[in-house]
Amino acid sequence: MEIKNPILNIRQIFKKNYGFTLLETLITILLFGVLGTVATVSLFTFLKGAANTEVTKELKQNGDYAMSVMEVTIRNATSITSLANCSDIGTYANFITVTNPDATATTFTCSSSRIQRGSDYLTNSSVSVSSTTCSNMFFCRSVLGVPNEVIINFQLDQASTTDPLNQQTFQTKVGIRNKNY
Q: Give tens-digit pLDDT for 19-35.
A: 788 898 999 999 999 99
Q: Rounded to an integer, what distance in angstroms lies between the CA atom of residue 69 and that of residue 47?
A: 33
Domain annotation covers residue 99: yes
Lowest mean pLDDT among 16-25, 34-43, 55-64, 160-169: 160-169
Judge whether residue 88 has pLDDT over 50: yes
Return the pLDDT at 11.
60
Query: Could you say which DSSP state residue 98 is in?
Result: E
- Cβ(156)–Cβ(123) below 8 Å: yes
Looking at residue 28, its pLDDT comes to 94
Is 50 part of any domain? yes
Q: Is residue 91 scored above 80 in pLDDT? A: no
Reduced to 3 states, what is the DSSP secondary structure of residue 124? coil
Hey, is 137 helix, strand or coil?
A: coil
Q: Is residue 1 domain-resident?
A: no
What pTM was estimated for this model as a whole?
Answer: 0.69
Domain count, the chain: 1
Cβ neighbours, 10 Å, residue 142: 18
Q: Which residue range(s) make up the domain with 60? A: 37-175
Cβ neighbours of residue 128 under 8 Å, at least 6 residues apart?
113, 114, 156, 157, 158, 159
- Residue 24: inside a domain: no
Per the domain annotation, does 109 fall within a domain? yes
- Does residue 145 fall inside a structural domain? yes
Residue 124 lies in a domain: yes
Q: What is the mean pLDDT of the chain?
A: 81
In this model, does residue 118 exceed pLDDT 60?
yes
Which residues pair with residue 79 across a beta bridge?
99
**95-99/105-111 β-pairing:** antiparallel
Nearest-angstrom CA–CA distance, 117 and 106: 7
pLDDT above 70 (res 146): no
Q: What pLDDT score was predicted for residue 18?
A: 63
Please check the confidence at residue 181 and state whether its pLDDT lies above 50. no
Establish if 17 belongs to a structural domain.
no
